[in-house]
A and B are shown apart, each in its own frame.
Chain A
Amino acid sequence: MAYRPATIEELAEMIPDAAVHGRSLAVSGTGSRPGIGPGAADADLDLTGLGGSIDHDPGELLLTLPASTPLDHVEKLLAQSGQCLAFEPPSPDAIWGLGHGTIGGAVASGLSGPRRPFAGACRDHVLGLSGVTGRGEIFTAGGKVLKNVTGFDLPRLLTGSRGTLAVLTQITLKVLPLAPAQATLLLPADTAAKAVRIIAHALMLDGGITGAAWSEGEVQLRIESSPSVLPALVDAARARLPASTLIEGDASRALWAAIASLYGHARADDIIWRCPLPANRAPALAALLPPDARLRLDWAGALAWVLLPAGAADLDVHGLVAQAAGRDGHAERLRGPASAIPARAPLEPGLAALSARVKALFDPAGILSPAAAPGGAA
């Protein structure tokens, strides 16, 4: 069965109704991120019917919008004013092929794109939000200003909480100017170790670097600025780095859209693992991977994408990341067939217990996307 609220008030009645009937809910927008979505539940909570107006205030660097707003619509809207979501939310389309999803889904999944080390993560750009808790309470948190420390930071807690604590209905984001010009340097690097060294060296350059990735034997280094300054930055970088090829303008933009979302990287039946870890541990992970695995690095080396052929469903990537980075890294399978290896490794016990207590305070009946709760269902 499915709940499909048309208003927030309806939503706030449906949640307690589901709780009373002991019915768990799969909280979702357009269902574009099945690999990290709500998982199995007794009923669907379909949020696409919850509309509302969009308030973009370019001068205040603020955007307030309903959670159900399509992500590609947000990006087009901002581009009209020369602005962007600086955390570069990856489109889920290349991974799951179910469209670009909603801004609510982007915030609930909390994923950040290539600009994460340079401009901050998704959680750093969510200034305020409204939603409904698992108790059916309509609430607002954060604010509609750039700098705010009033009260507990629920916007950060709820970003990336995957619909397991509250159902998001409205979001206020910090938006930033989109650099009008960009170029990418391509530098040969046949191993992850070389790539990480080149990137570390490049990051000591002081010149508008907003992306540093590695794939197919090549480091990609993005430089963004105003059109009058960009040539000087590119020249300065090339003078201090090994020989490189230059890509400019729209070709550079297309390259980074692909890096952010794995377009053209993942094959149709690849198993996809996403592994944040300290950049200097990426070479150790590379050394542990079997020959048929393909590795891509983003976030200046601090995000490893491991692409495995369909036959490698039983490779314990959690174990490999733990071996390479100890407690400082973790792994999640975003796509792949069911396997004895869980998509996420259990949290350390103290953290799991605390996470379960947090979940229970928002959602005492444990009905909001329980299968996706990081500490396990309460």
Chain B
Amino acid sequence: MKMPEPDATVLARQAQIAAALAAIVPDGVIADAAGVSPYGSDGLVMYRQSPLAVVLPRTTEQVSKVLAWCHANGVKVVARGSGTSLSGGALPLADGIVLGMARFNRILSVDYDNRCAVVQPGVTNLAVSQAIAHKGFYYAPDPSSQIACSIGGNVAENAGGVHCLKYGTTSPNLLGVELVLMDGTVLRLGGPGQEQAGYDLLGLVCGSEGLLGVVTEATVRILPKPATSRALLLGFPSVADASDCVAAIIAAGIIPAGLEMMDAPAIRAAEDFVQAGYPTDVEALMIAEADGSVAEVDDQLARITQIANAHNCTHLRASTDEAQRLLFWAGRKAAFPAVGRIASDYYCVDGTIPRRQLGAVLGKISAIVARHGLGVANVFHAGDGNLHPLVMYDASVPGQTEAAEAAGAEILMACVDAGGVLTGEHGVGVEKRDLMEHQFSTIDIEVQSRLKCAFDAHGLLNPGKLFPTLSRCAEMNHMHVHGGRLPFPELPRF
């Protein structure tokens, strides 16, 4: 993975930069090698790079001053929440600082009348739900890392979870942000209302992977907890049967709260790890969850049962209480660490495909992984077509890390070739950056990436992520229409 060449003059000014930033955040600058080392990596552990320094601000004013100083002095900035990104979104740059948002850890207000909460970006996803549970409310997006991942990181990545089909990813659940631009400008986008005036800049910022600004406050939508949630555990003799069953459920007009699938290796790993009571003699396992009133839940589960039986379902259990429902989920939510127990290392891939392509794409994944001499277990957000193949490898065997990366890239290209996309919820980051051209044309990427010029004209916020190259903003005020010719063919790749 090639990152932008570090600027030697910036590296040489390290002590001076740390001192200037310490004047803005007196108790919040780490600049020694041992101190910055824990920030060297995020959830994509294949990559590691120590930053120039780590700055831990407490207030929006400090964030604004730090960014303004870095803007004026040409220092790059990588914002970081809890560092759980699976795509390298928070991977530091050698010549840039990490702006750690962990001290922004307060829930500022909860407005039950308007169903929203104003939280600081360092608050964890689960902490939002926990803080409002006593009033019967919760925050719907639930990424698997929800005990650790931060709301700021969720906004940056437009994080998903297992209930997206019905409740959406972060973006539909985000009502407003306070955003600091690279030049220090503090803006408010959206708020407690249901619509903002002007362009949907909030929608643009959500999922922009830390390239457009730093979120210092988020207003999120909260919902009353459904009266009932119940889950079905369904086993099938083949992935094809399970996949047809998913299609039939959707075709019947049912939108379950959750619709998850696992293949045989994932089922066995999860069952060995948490003893969730999964059948180990099936080739595909589905968890279908319904929530809402008792009448709606009973009706939905009865219809799903009927459909499953018509699709060769060989194992069917309905949760009878909350403990059992959570046990059904425990295996699925622990699928990653479960695979971590049977393989020395695993690499979680994240692509989305049209659901009907599932069988064909799983076949391709098996072939790709086998060709690289590796193993794979698959978990799948079946309702919305989001695949998570877990490629198993051993980093201590020379060549296997590279083989896992290569297999991951081929899997993602297979997703795109099947009519899908490179990432359903983990983001592009550094991981999929160089695959963007497999999904988008040069012009498509240019139309997106040049937006950075409106927010960060010097390209100092998280460069090297998301886009293979960045536009030269100074030239952006002119028309560049030359019969479809590349806008900047001479520009080098990172």
- Answer whether residue A233 sits at the interface, using C-beta atoms and an 8 A cutoff: yes
A-B contact pairs, 29 of them (CB 8 A): A59-B250, A60-B354, A62-B354, A138-B443, A140-B444, A141-B447, A144-B354, A144-B419, A147-B169, A147-B385, A148-B421, A149-B425, A150-B432, A151-B440, A151-B445, A152-B449, A153-B158, A153-B206, A156-B203, A178-B253, A206-B227, A206-B228, A236-B293, A278-B111, A278-B191, A302-B193, A303-B194, A358-B199, A361-B476
Interface size on A, residues (CB 8 A): 92
Of A121, A147, A165, A203, which one neighbours B160 at CB under 8 angstroms? A147
Within 8 A of B (CB), among A153-185: 153-154, 156-157, 159-161, 165, 176-178, 180
With both chains docked as a complex, state the minimum distance between the C-beta of B443 and any C-beta of chain A, in angstroms: 5
CA distance A2 to B54 in the complex (A): 57
Query: B114, A302: Cβ atoms under 8 Å?
Result: yes
Interface string of A363-378 (1 = CB under 8 A from B): 0110000000011000
Interface string of A279-301 (1 = CB under 8 A from B): 11000000000000000000100
Query: B136, A204: Cβ atoms under 8 Å?
Result: yes
- List of B residues within 8 angstroms of A357 by Cβ: 453-454
Of A19, A123, A302, A354, which one neighbours B479 at CB under 8 angstroms? A19
With both chains docked as a complex, state the minimum distance between the C-beta of B442 and any C-beta of chain A, in angstroms: 10
The 10 closest A-B pairs by CB, nearest first: A156-B203, A374-B198, A177-B253, A357-B454, A232-B295, A206-B227, A146-B384, A276-B195, A147-B384, A330-B197
CA distance A361 to B471 in the complex (A): 11
Within 8 A of A (CB), among B51-92: none
CA distance A61 to B382 in the complex (A): 13
Query: B224, A154: Cβ atoms under 8 Å?
Result: no
- List of B residues within 8 angstroms of A44 by Cβ: none
Given A120-B172, A229-B299, A157 contacting B199 (CB threshold 8 A): yes
Query: B201, A354: Cβ atoms under 8 Å?
Result: yes
- List of B residues within 8 angstroms of A135 by Cβ: 479-481
- Between B165, B293, B428, the greatest number of chain A beta carbons within 10 A of the residue's beta carbon is seen for B293
- List of A residues within 8 angstroms of B443 by Cβ: 137-139
Of B295, B356, B424, which one neighbours A149 at CB under 8 angstroms? B424
- List of A residues within 8 angstroms of B356 by Cβ: 59-60
In the complex, what residue of chain B is closest to A160 when comparing beta carbons?
B200
- List of A residues within 8 angstroms of B165 by Cβ: 146
With both chains docked as a complex, state the minimum distance between the C-beta of A194 and any C-beta of chain B, in angstroms: 14
- List of B residues within 8 angstroms of A152 by Cβ: 204, 207-208, 448-449, 451, 466
Query: B428, A150: Cβ atoms under 8 Å?
Result: yes
- Answer whether residue B164 sits at the interface, using C-beta atoms and an 8 A cutoff: yes
Interface string of A1-28 (1 = CB under 8 A from B): 0000000000000001001000000000
- List of A residues within 8 angstroms of B420 by Cβ: 143, 145
